[in-house]
Amino acid sequence: MKELQTDILIVGGGVGGCAAALAAAESGWNIILTEESDWIGGQLTSQATPPDEHGWIENFGCTREYRRMRNAVREFYKANYPLTEKAKANSRLNPGDGWVSPLCAEPLVFLKVLEAMLAEYVERGNLQILTEHFPIAADTEKTKVRSVALVNLRSGENVSVSAGYFIDATELGELLPLTKTEFVTGAESKTETGEPSAKETREPKNSQAFSVCYAMSFHAGENHTIEKPVNYEFWRDYVPNLNPPWSGRLLSLDGISPRSMQPISYNFAPHQEPNRAFAGLWTYRRILHRENFVENAFDSDITLVNYPQIDYFLKDLSNAAGYEEKQRLVSEGKNLSLSFLYWLQTVAGFSGLKLRNDVVGTNDGLAKMPYVRESRRIRAEFTVCEQHVSAACRPNEIFAEKFDDSVGIGFYRIDLHPTVGSDNYLDVEALPFQIPLGALIPQTTENLLAACKNIGTTHITNGCYRLHPIEWNIGEAAGALAAFCLVKNAKPSAVRNDAKLLGEFQNLLVKKGVELEWRKDLKLVEGDPHRHAF
């Protein structure tokens, strides 16, 4: 087995992993970053999911590095694409004008920007990136990890990496069982967490759906119908058995409102939906709006499909036993995604929909990796629960519970998709919250940190801590903490529990441009105690 040694090993090159690598490499330590896919970037790239962000993101509420990344995406379009003069002059350019986010852009552009941000450290020699590597084993001694073994998915060869600190930035908490780090999966019980929305009994295999996303364009008068997918008839006739009930068949343009739980019908009108929020599915995650570009530059918009109709909740991905089992479940999710496209092309009559493999970089036209909503989660020094962040639990409060060990901030509704355990949507209003350092630190393993959806949240609060800018902040804090611990020769738990060390670390984060608390001038909107303004 090939052996490597480094100061910090980051396993998982998604949003959190890239942010961790930037923060740790900036400190001068030697870093190895590994990624299962051949694209770094996770949700932004290989999972083909534009950033879900709060309404203040253009002004505040994210780290300086996350903002630098966003700005670089816009500058890339202005330097390399035939934008209209109006679009080029727009300081808040949204290339796709998708209404899910003020920055809907192509996965390849996010990839190029992230690679450029990391290139400085690669060229300097203190960052090595190993793509297409998956963790398969770990060597531990008592409460410390000594090394992690990974398989090269291209060659089949194994490599062992020893390090002082290990950061799990994988989408499913892949390092946790390998390193014997205690973790939780699925839904906790009310007895465990005291959460109003928790289950009466613990359901460890009841995790949220995952989705295999894809890009498509529309060409009226043309026929781009794909070959009928295997098991299409199953999905065509499938009616979700959820509680509260689904509105009918999954493959349709009907569904359930996550907030009211009432039946709704989705508008789907390629190139005809108005350019505003909630206009329809076509504009929802549109990543290229042809009207932003000079005439005839593009013959169609491009939109990403991450709709309720492709949520796969028949089996639990976070409890998959090994790489092969995970791939089998992802394959089933791909079949659902293709079945919905085929349904749109044939039953709904949109034969001009074209699967865009060039946009996602695959032969089958589907995203390289599944969009994962829920992971294995560490048993952390501190676990964020619903009562800490829920607006209903904190009536007339402006902010979520204050955490003295804050390492960042975030804001998003508690948004849970249908689950393997047949739960329908759970949608709970949240307040602007902080990210507690204790949620990144396992109770047992002393030199491993969580940097993705595997932090100390519950099944419920994972629903508001799993979004792009928050994951970036979590990863950046984890990378900075590992580097800080090496400098101070101190354990992460010591940094959190020693007032002097904690103060030093938080000051370091502030200097790096990490916001530790929300602006004081946020206020509640009169008449609606849970809406905010500034």
Q: To which residue do tokens 């890239």 refer?
A: 18
pLDDT at 534 over 80: no
* The token pair that represents 250 in the structure block: 């999954």
Residues 218, 357 contacting (CB under 8 angstroms) = no
CATH 3.50.50.60 placement within the chain? 2-50+105-181+374-523
- What gap in Å lies between CA 26 and CA 408, rounded to an integer? 19
Whole-angstrom CA distances from 379 to 93, 420, 440 are 41, 22, 10
pLDDT at 528 over 60: no
- The neighbouring-strand residues paired with 27 are none
Q: pTM to 2 decimals?
A: 0.97
**387-412 core/surface letters (b: 16 or more CB in 10 A; e: else):** bbbbbebbeeebbbbebebbbbbbbb
- What gap in Å lies between CA 34 and CA 332, rounded to an integer? 26
DSSP 225-254: PPPPPTTHHHHHH-----BSPPSS-SSSSE
Whole-angstrom CA distances from 524 to 396, 397, 520 are 8, 8, 12
Kindly indicate the confidence band of residue 1, based on its pLDDT and cuts at 50, 70 and 90. confident
Q: Which residues contact 442 (CB under 8 A, 6 or more apart)?
A: 181, 182, 378, 379, 380, 381, 448, 449, 450
Average pLDDT of span 139-144 = 96
At 433 the pLDDT is 98
- Between 3.40.50.1820, 3.90.380.10, 3.50.50.60, 3.90.226.10, what CATH number should domain 2-50+105-181+374-523 receive? 3.50.50.60
CA angle centred on 258, ends 252 and 264, rounded to 5°: 40
* The token pair that represents 475 in the structure block: 């990863």
Kindly indicate the confidence band of residue 456, based on its pLDDT and cuts at 50, 70 and 90. very high
Tell me: the pLDDT tens digits for 19-55? 999 999 999 999 999 999 999 999 999 999 999 999 9
Least confident piece of the model among 143-147, 215-219, 276-280, 379-383: 276-280
Q: Cis peptide leading into 244, omega within 30 of 0?
A: yes
Q: Which helix (H) or strand (E) holds 263?
A: strand 263-265
- What gap in Å lies between CA 274 and CA 114, rounded to an integer? 32
